[in-house]
Structure 1
Amino acid sequence: MAGMYCTSRGLCVFVVCTAVILSLTGGSDAVVVSTTHGDVSGSEFLTSSVVGNAVFDRVFTFKGIPYAAPPVGDLRWRPPQDPTSWTGVRDVTEFGSRCPQVEFPLSGTIYDAISVRSNSSSEDCLFLNVYTPNVSATANLPVMVWIHGGGWYSGSGASYPAEIPTSLHNVVMVTINYRLAHLGFLPTLDDDAPGNFGLLDTIKALEWVRGNIRNFGGDPDRVTIFGESAGGWSVSLLVMSPMATGLFHRAISQSGVAGFPVREKRDITQTQNLALSLNCSTASYDDMMSCLRGLPSENLLTTVFPSVVTDGRFLLQSPWDLMNHKFINRVDYLLGTNNDEFGYMASQVPYVDADGMTRAEFETNLLENLQLVVEQYLRSSVDTILQPVIDQYLDPDMADDPIYRRDQFLQLLTDAWFAAPTVMMAQAQSGMPAVAWQASSRVYQYELQHRASVFSFRPPYVTGADHGDDFFLMFGIPLLRDDTGNSWKYSFTQEERDLSLDMMAYWVNFAANGDPNDSTGAARMRDMVHWPRYTPSSQSYLKLDVTSSADVKIRESNMKFWNEEVPRLMGKHVHSNRASHGTRETSCSLSVLVFTFVVSYLLA
């Protein structure tokens, strides 16, 4: 499935949440694995005629394992609870239901060729899927837990063909479902969970992984969380959350780091507005929630932009403040963006087209999009930053050119929504000093710059890598064989298949060893361009392309504008991003680290 979500203020973000129907080519007796809630019986996926270049001739799959109780009835808008244990052996050869969601079909040759693998939708949806080349409890393979994108409106773990990278690498992959839209992110007044339910689901899934993954061949002490778009947001928020401390060891954010609207605890304006629209009285909070809990889930699937709540448990401060103060979990982090994240807008909105943008279109739509930017600072007015943004992106000598205005508008949104938050997180994580019991975090940044040939149907002026393009490469879709097993399924070039192999190898190397260049333990070695480590001073990154290369300080002026000038205009005190070994900086970071441990202990 491909999806697009559009906010009420005009921001549209296209999210590729594709799936591939992978036909089993045969199998043998089912494999039974024990979990904390009961035994499960999975199946074998034979790779030889389906995945080109596969290392393993089979992958073991376990689909639709419940990691939490169904969040229905009184458990709607409650923290996830343990699932009910079962006796006997549970069949997990079919995917569980995906969570209720907003569906956004998108046409296009490659999108028409792929489809969703979970046919049903239900609130009983808190399932995960495990893919492994080795079910031995002593295999100790690195574990990668995928958090899907979809704007927190749509998507499911079942939609991602983790069979492909698992058939190529010594890695255990897990994909998960979590609650979406209002069901996952509606603010409440309940002290135990005043929001962030979809994110609490991801923590529950990670707790399941910690307690069970060894029996599936995984190493619970080498868990990497990774995700794209809204999944990348979720990853970054888990890096910021004291509740997630110790549940994972490395993180990968693709096209998404938390830099979006945030609500303070007990602000239930959004909930009250929803209740009124559904004829639920807001006079009594308990009666309002009882009314909402009694409604069918489909009544709750509106496209209001989801927001996180600074609830004092999952999130202690706003994401911007946590990054600014380096108040985050210390983990190795690989993160990056695509160089044309908003290219899809060229075919989705009327004000971006081959003729460019008028000045009025530029300023009107800029206002709508900046409104979401300022809300991450708990501000409501864009007046303070409107002209500075225009000055930053429009050269007076070019400002009358509609093509130039269009291109700058798309670059502006790519920088504000994706690149700048990514750089800020890279600075925060890499700037945390080493301590006696733990080395400093290893950080690696990338920008994908290649638009694959299969996207030739896009407008010719969209030349870069669009939002979601990385997913096709990361999950090895260029390596799929057609039904005969003798030809490629999709018309990627050989260079693009090599890029896909490179990306999967970089990602798995990082998950295994904390360094995308370190292939220790790899099932197959690849000769790849060296990826330099990001530091606060070097700010090195890798330009991922059919011919990749290293560079430094991605769009430095624009990054400083969004990460330093705009926050100051919003009344924020911006901490220096320069590398520092001074006592004050180290003391502050150590104090924050100690506080994190204290909070984590109290919340345990």
Structure 2
Amino acid sequence: MFRILAAFAVFLQTVSATSLGIVSTEGGLVEGQNILLENNRYVDVFRGIPFADIPARFEKPKRHPGWDGVLQTTKYQRRCLQVDLTMTGTMGSEDCLYLNIWVPHGSSVSTNLPVMVWIYGGGFATGGAMGVNFLNNYLYDGQELANRGNVIVVTLGYRLGPLGFLSTGDSDMPGNYGMWDQQAAIAWVHRNIWSFGGDPSNITIFGESAGGVSVSLQTLSPHNKGLIRRAISQSGVAMCPWAISKNPRKFAEEVARKVNCPIDSNMVSCLKTVDSATLTVAGTVNMSGSPDNPVVNNLVLSPVVDGDFLPDEPHNLFHNAAEIDFLAGTNDMDGRMYGGMDIPSVNDDALETPVEDVKRLLAALTKEKGQMGFDGAYATYSATWGSSPSNEVVKKTVVAIETDYLFLIPTQTTLYLHAGSATTGRTYSYLFSVPNRMGGLMPPFPSWMGADHTDDLQYVFGKPLSTPLIYRAEDKALSQSMIAYWTNFAKTGDPNSGGLSVPVTWPAFTNADHKFLELNGNINSASVQDMLRLGYVYFWTSYLPDLPEVTSK
């Protein structure tokens, strides 16, 4: 009788819940949490699966040794060690190489689903696989994206700051440890995702800001050959001026001096002995800028051309992405935050932003080309001003300069390079232009705000759908559309086909017509446009580089 009752209980469990149950991975068995959703759908969530061992200082990650029994993966693990908001303390742990998986199910357990692997941003210095948390609502919770798009979503941790990116520029401390962590996670997913109902031959990596740069660089690295099918870079690509550290040794020596290490042949061995929190704080980059020394010049802790992960400069590696479908874009005011760091008056409607500050900023960004570079830049950005530009026009110009230089022009360049090198890989371009909801309420959110840096994230991860009370109808519609475009792309390489309907057909980007889609609360046929900021693209990619250099960068 007991066996009959036990069997009946198991039967009831199987008919009332669709779940993977205990899953076998290369490290051992894992068990997550099964959640009942609407419409008799379920999602299995696995939080905190180790994809590599606890990393050794300044070394590539190694495979996890495994575990006995069933690992209960129901809690997020700590984020990688990083500075806190005070910039003088730290949070997180060196034991941080874990990933999280969301697997959606309908009436039966899913099999052969496309896989989307998220790489978070944060300037290679901060961030986490879960994202910011408000009332236990994590930004990078993959549930909405997984369920609505019928894809598996994976988020991962990677080393940050000096532990992830400090480099001497040679074999002593080659750097890119955070990039190797990402690559190890992608490889783990490729080897193990079949057990979770995923298709290892259909992996899309996607990310934003430094995560977007990371995605772009992962497609260019020869170490991912055959692992990545598609990629989405949001507000960050390989060609960004802050994506690659040009003189890593100089910053490594600055950090060494701060922690009382020599800058000779013993520097690396000394740095390995320094307390991890002390080293992390010592490796904090200076985020203060001015018109004459923009903050972009201080973003020096980033990936490097190491001859291994990146065997050459990024622009020479696009052949490695020839078979990868690539979708990329920026927000229309991605540079607002950085413009406000360099010229603080930009953020306050009540303060005047002098034209002289615009000139100083352009002079700083074009200084290696001297007077001719500055003259061309100023003529380009003041062309529509008229004789007496308003204060708002001047402020918007500062934001346009920073957006173009840091994000938009590098993204267009990356799209050109991908489209030009592609064999079977398709290319798609977008501009996200939903005005920030904080605009005009108080500094640092001026009244004329467009889409700020990171404003796109809430829509991709379905926040207007999971927390609808604080969003408008058009926000919910946009989130549904972006989830449809993103997950269709992950399934087929075409954002228009993959099972979810979209408001308008998004044409591919080619070097002949430069088509792009503007994403906002009213996507229609007029949202399909071409030649995004072509005059500015021409200035930064053709006119300026062709001028003779008068000073080194």
For normalisation by structure 1, the TM-score amounts to 0.76
Classify the secondary structure of the residue corresponding to 1:268: helix
* Distance (Å, rounded) in 2 between the aligned partners of 1:85 and 1:142: 26
* Pair 1:496–1:314, CA change in 2 (3 A): same
Residue in structure 1 matched with residue 344 of structure 2 by the alignment = 350
CA deviation profile, 1:359-414 (whole Å, cap 9, x unmatched):
3322344455x28xx8xxxxx77766333322221237446644322211111111
- Residue 208 of structure 1 and its aligned partner are, at CA, apart by 0.3
Q: What amino acid is the match of 1:42?
A: G
Per the alignment, residue 296 of structure 2 pairs with: none
- Give the CA deviation at 1:423: 1.0
The answer to whether structure 1 residue 243 and structure 2 residue 219 are counterparts is no
Give 1:471 shift.
0.3
Partner of 2:306: 311
**1:337 corresponds to 2:319:** no
In the alignment, which residue of structure 1 is the partner of 2:13?
none
Alignment of 1:41-440 (within 5 A): 41-48=31-38, 57-71=41-55, 75-104=56-85, 121-134=92-105, 139-159=111-131, 160-188=140-168, 191=171, 194-258=174-238, 259-261=240-242, 262-263=244-245, 268-283=249-264, 285=265, 287-299=266-278, 300-301=280-281, 302-304=283-285, 305=299, 306-322=301-317, 328-344=321-337, 350-352=344-346, 353-354=348-349, 355-367=351-363, 370=365, 385-395=373-383, 397-398=386-387, 401-432=390-421, 434=423, 440=424
Q: 1:344 to 1:189 in 2, by over 3 A?
A: closer
Q: 2:52 and 2:403 mapped to 1: Cα distance? A: 36
Contact 1:44 / 1:61 at 8 angstroms: preserved in 2? yes
CA distance in 1, matches of 2:65, 2:363: 49
Separation in structure 1 between the aligned mates of residue 184 and residue 322 of structure 2, nearest angstrom: 18
Distance 1:139 1:566 in 2: 51
SS in 2 for 1:310: coil
Matched, 1:559 2:537: yes
1:44–1:192: structure 2 CA closer, same or farther, 3 Å change rule?
A: farther
Give the aligned partner of residue 568 of structure 1.
546
Distance in 2, Cα, partners of 1:515 & 1:424: 21
Taking the aligned partners of 1:37 and 1:193, their CA distance within structure 2 comes to 29
> Does structure 1 conserve the Cα–Cα contact (< 8 Å) formed by 2:158 and 2:178?
yes
Q: Deviations over 1:21-73 (max 9, x none)?
A: xxxxx99999211100111111123334xxxxxx66321111111111112xx
Distance 1:70 1:188 in 2: 23
Query: Is the Cα contact below 8 Å between 1:56 and 1:168 reproduced in 2?
Result: no
- Please, which runs of 5 or more residues in structure 1 have no aligned partner? 1-25, 49-54, 107-118, 375-379, 435-439, 482-487, 572-604
Q: Quote the Cα distance in structure 2 between the aligned partners of 1:56 and 1:429.
A: 42
The change in CA–CA distance for 1:462 and 1:293 in structure 2 (over 3 A counts) is farther
Query: How far did 1:454 drift?
Result: 6.3
Cα RMSD after superposing both structures: 2.9
CA contact (8 A) 2:149 2:488 kept: no
What whole-Å deviation, never above 9, does each CA across 1:160-218 have from its counterpart, x for those lacking one?
Answer: 11112112121000000101111111113663961111111111001100110011111
> Deviation string for 1:241-292 (max 9, x for gaps)?
1112211110000111122243469x52211111011111123x2x322221
Rounded to whole Å, the distance in 2 between the matches of 1:192 and 1:533 is 44
Paired AA for residue 426 in structure 2: R
Match for residue 39 of structure 1? Answer: 29
Asked whether the 8 Å contact 1:331–1:441 carries over to 2, the reply is yes
| Distance change (3 Å), C-alpha of 1:570 and 1:462 | farther
Contact preservation (8 Å) 1:60, 1:133 = yes
Give the counterpart letter for 2:182 in structure 1: T
Name which of 478, 481, 495 aligns with 1:502.
481
CA contact 2:78–2:93 (8 Å) conserved in 1: yes
- 2:520 pairs with one of 545, 550, 575: 545
Amino acid in the other structure paired with 1:391: A
Q: Deviations over 1:554-580 (max 9, x none)?
A: 011001111222332376xxxxxxxxx
Q: Quick one: which of 428, 441, 455 aligns to 1:444?
A: 428
> What are the Cα deviations for residues 207-230 of structure 1, in whole angstroms up to 9, with x where unaligned?
100110011111000000000111
Alpha carbons of structure 1 residues 383 and 231: separation in structure 2 relative to 1, 3 Å: farther
Higher relative contact order (CA 8 A, sep 6+): 1
Query: CA separation of 1:152/1:399 partners in 2, compared to 1, >3 Å: closer, same or farther?
Result: farther
Distance 1:428 1:240 in 2: 11
In the alignment, residue 59 of structure 1 is paired with which amino acid? V
Q: Give the conservation status (yes or no) of the 8 Å contact 2:429–2:509.
A: yes
**Unmatched 5+ stretches in structure 2:** 1-15, 132-139, 286-298
Instruction: Supply the distance in 1 between the matched residues of 2:178 and 2:105 (Cα, whole angstroms).
Output: 30
| Between 355-364 and 413-422, the greater mean CA deviation after superposition | 355-364
Question: CA distance change for structure 1 residues 443 and 431 in 2, over 3 Å: closer, same or farther?
Answer: same
Moved more, 248-257 or 357-366: 357-366
| C-alpha contact (below 8 Å) 1:229/1:255 kept by paired residues | yes
Report the AA paired with residue 528 of structure 1. P
Q: 1:383 to 1:280 in 2, by over 3 A?
A: farther
Of the structure 1 ranges 397-406 and 55-64, higher mean CA displacement relative to structure 2 is found in: 397-406
Give the 3 Å change call, closer, same or farther, for CA 403–451 of structure 1 in structure 2: closer
Distance in 2 (alpha carbons) for counterparts of 1:444 and 1:29: 35
Q: Percent identity?
A: 35
Gap change, CA 1:558 and 1:322, over 3 Å in 2: farther
